Amino acid sequence: MAWLVLVVSGVLEAVWAVALGRTEGFTRLTPSIVFVVAITASMGGLAFAMRTLPIGTAYAVWVGIGAALTVAFGMVTGDEAVSVVKVLLLVGLVACVVGLKLTH
């Protein structure tokens, strides 16, 4: 259960990161609300997962999922340049997250 919550929390990290970028300094209401809800749920899920998972592993997985999805979203929407090197690095990041899960 902790792993499922951690993965969802990692996805929500990407949601709040993207929303934060769209708040324009918290002057836009909808992205600001999405940011607050997503960051609250993401942190809550991370805290829940850390009750049973090692802190270092949980945090690394949470950050890895959030970072990979945030960059991937940016590449899909055209906000981030796409390159073979970036894609390979993202694949490597995801592989490291999976590796942390498998070695737990």
Range of the domain at 26: 2-103
Residue 36: which of 49, 19, 48 has the closest Cα? 19
pTM: 0.89
Residues 6+ positions from 59 with CB-CB distance below 8 Å: 46, 50
For residue range 65-93, list pLDDT tens digits in order: 999 999 999 999 999 999 999 999 999 99
Q: Domain count for the chain, please give it.
A: 1
Q: What is the pLDDT of residue 10?
A: 97
For residue range 45-62, list pLDDT tens digits in order: 999 999 999 999 999 999
For residue range 4-48, list pLDDT tens digits in order: 999 999 999 999 999 999 999 999 999 999 999 999 999 999 999
